[in-house]
Amino acid sequence: MIIKPKIRGFVCVTAHPEGCAANVQEQIDYVIKQGPLNGGPKNVLIIGASTGYGLATRIASAFACRAGTVGVFFERPSINGRTATAGWYNSIAVEKKAKEAGLFTASVNGDAFSDEIKKDTIEVIKNGPGKVDLVIYSLASPRRTHPKTGESFRAVLKPIGQPFTAKTLDTDKKKVAEVTIDPASEEEIAATKAVMGGEDWEMWISALSDAGVLAEGARSVAYSYIGPEVTWPVYKNGTIGMAKEDLEASARKNDSRLRASGGSAFISVNKAVVTQSSSAIPVVPLYISMLFKVMKDNGSHEGCIEQIYRLYRDQMFNGSRPKFDEVGRVRLDDLEMKTEVQEIAQSLWNEADTESLDEHSDFAGYREDFLRLFGFGLEGVDYEAETDPNVDFEA
Ligand code: NAD
């Protein structure tokens, strides 16, 4: 079939296998060009490994550090002539390249919140590298079924206490409009915490530790976001921010647990980038479009792979302890949060409307990154060619 992007609101329901492979290859080429990182991890478990920050982490681990990787994700293969999800194609591409490079690689596709997938992953580690010395928690999910109670939770992206009115961008229609989001109920706040908070990360660390598959000195990192004041009512001070606070509390608990064997756990606050998850957050895509303009203009723009390579090179595998902020987090969002960057982003924000969007933002860059998530717009891919959507992992 000829595979073209089919956009529905803030998602693209098609993905291009060769385009996704080209996207993975570009990230591999980037880390190889930056140079190998000595003293990196030997075997890394990445929970949420198929897209966005988790995919970049898998690529940096394998191709900058020559680490074995076990990737956990929830993706759909091609069925009934529909394309697979981008994360499916990405993971096949990473595995193929890692095998060619002589590295251990394995993937577990299923619900990471479940006990079953934790058990399967532990078996994969036991039958493969035996132990992992780094566990990355990079899940972003709209829902979770609790493994002990069976209760289902749905995360919401809402303010707390009062309604929030702000500019937002309809990325499909390229329209800036005002949106008012009603505040979350207590139940919704609790549900969002259950999905995106830290309980599941703690369950992973307990399960891995109890099964004896964590190496001496194993470390674990979860990713978070803070962002600028314009997004705080719906992000930092909203339901998702409460969940991230809970994740920070879990970082402290996981840290004490891992310290017993010489390891540690912490949060890395990363910068805003275009991913399937960030495209779904109200207000954030407009801010990202402005941020990209400012950071591209001043030469400090980074995507997922640049961020994670920097995390590894400057914070985790440079022979000294990471530099933590006052509450123990690594701040990869340092360049985003610089006063001069934020001041310009804020003034662009004040000016932006539908007519002046191209002048006041890098909407073209946003759009390009969005399509690339699904394997579209990659150089060297023939998008007019017949393409088989049915691609599978090598046995
Ligand atoms: P993403 O949507 O690109 O990736 C989410 C990953 O989670 C995918 O691999 C997906 O398969 C997996 N996943 C979702 N539900 C699952 C389930 N039930 N079981 C197994 N796997 C599941 O998201 P992302 O933007 O890379 O976000 C990853 C982390 O980075 C999140 O904690 C997010 O808050 C954080 N972060 C994102 C940004 C940003 O701008 N995108 C900025 C800073 C921090």
What confidence tens digit (pLDDT) does each residue in 190-235 have?
Answer: 999 999 999 999 999 999 999 999 999 999 999 999 999 889 999 9
Atom 30 in ligand 1: residue holding the nearest Cα = 223
Tell me, in angstroms, the distance from the centre of ligand 1 to residue 52's CA. Answer: 6
pLDDT digits (tens, 9 = 90+) for 182-191: 999 999 999 9
Q: Residue 9 — pLDDT band, cuts 50, 70, 90?
A: confident
Q: Between the CA of residue 107 and those of 11, 46, 163, 302, what are the distances in Å?
A: 24, 10, 42, 27
CA triplet 239, 184, 354: central angle to 5 degrees?
Answer: 80
pLDDT(395) > 80: no
* Distance separating the N- and C-terminal Cα atoms of the chain: 25
pLDDT band at 280 (very low <50, low <70, confident <90, very high): confident
Q: What is the pLDDT of residue 209?
A: 98
Q: Which residue has a Cα nearest atom 21 of ligand 1?
A: 73
Helix (H) / strand (E) containing 153? strand 152-154
Residue with CA nearest ligand 1 atom 42: 272
- Percent of the chain residues topping a pLDDT of 70: 100
* CA 288 to ligand 1: nearest atom: 40
Mean pLDDT of all residues in 355-374: 95
How many angstroms separate the CA atoms of 390 and 79, rounded?
8
Residue 390: DSSP 8-state: -
| Active-site amino acid positions | 235
Q: Output the furthest CA–CA distance in the chain (Å, rounded).
A: 58
Is the distance from CB of 34 to CB of 312 less than 8 angstroms?
no
DSSP at 50: S
CB 134 within 8 A of CB 61: yes
- Gap from CA of 356 to ligand 1 centroid (Å): 31
| Residue 178 pLDDT | 92
> How buried is 393 (Cβ within 10 angstroms: 0-12 exposed, 13-18 middle, 19+ buried)?
middle
State the chain's mean pLDDT as an integer.
Answer: 96
Nearest to 294 by CA among 310, 272, 313: 272
CB-based contacts of 339, cutoff 8 Å, min separation 6: none
For ligand 1, which residues put their CB under 6 angstroms from it? Answer: 48-54, 72-75, 87, 111-113, 138-141, 223-225, 270, 272-273, 275-278
* Mutate-to-test residue for ligand 1 from 73, 192, 226, highest number of ligand atoms within 8 A of CB: 73
**Measured torsion, CA atoms of residues 311, 317, 320, 325, in degrees rounded to the nearest 10:** 20
Spatial separation of the C-alpha atoms in residues 246 and 136, rounded to whole Å: 17
Pocket mutation for ligand 1, best pick of 92, 275, 301 (most atoms within 8 Å of C-beta): 275
Q: How far apart are CA 201 and CA 110, in angstroms?
A: 16
Alpha-carbon gap, residue 311 to 392, rounded angstroms: 32
As given in the structure block, the two tokens for residue 148 are 């002990």
- For the record, the structure tokens of 319 come out as 């022979």
Look up the pTM and report it: 0.98
- pLDDT of 333-364, one tens digit each? 999 999 999 999 999 989 989 999 999 999 99
What would the DSSP string read from start to end of 329-361?
EEETTTTTT-HHHHHHHHHHHHH--TTTHHHHS
For the segment 219-276, what is each residue's pLDDT rounded down to a tens digit? Answer: 999 999 999 988 999 999 999 999 999 999 999 999 999 999 999 999 999 999 999 9
**pLDDT of 10 higher than 90:** no
CA of 286 to the centre of ligand 1 (A): 20
Between 45 and 279, whose confidence is greater?
A: 45
Position in ligand 1 atom list of the atom nearest CA 49? 9
Q: 10 Å Cβ neighbour count for 326?
A: 5
Q: 224 C-alpha vs ligand 1 centroid, how far in Å?
A: 10
Query: What is the 384 CA–ligand 1 centroid distance (Å)?
Result: 31
**Residue 248 in contact with residue 329, Cβ under 8 Å?**
yes
Alpha helices in 104-164 (DSSP H): 115-127
Helix (H) or strand (E) holding 19: helix 17-34
Atom of ligand 1 nearest to the CA of 272: 40
User: What are the residue boundaries of the structural domains of the chain, listed by start?
Assistant: 7-157+186-282+304-333
Q: Which CATH class is domain 7-157+186-282+304-333?
A: alpha beta
Q: Please identify which residue in the block is written with the tokens 């393409």.
A: 387
Q: Which atom number of ligand 1 is nearest to the Cα of residue 143?
A: 18
* Mean pLDDT on 124-151: 98
Q: What are phi and psi of 332, to 5 degrees?
A: -80, -5
Q: Which of 20, 92, 195, 225 to mutate to test the pocket of ligand 1 (most atoms within 8 A of CB)?
A: 225
Could you tell me if 312 and 367 are in contact, meaning their C-beta atoms sit under 8 angstroms apart? Answer: no
**Ligand 1 centroid from CA 386, angstroms:** 31
Nearest to 54 by CA among 152, 134, 149, 160: 134
Nearest protein Cα to ligand 1, atom 27: 140
Of the candidates 155, 157, 183, 156, the one whose C-alpha atom is nearest the C-alpha of residue 168 is 157
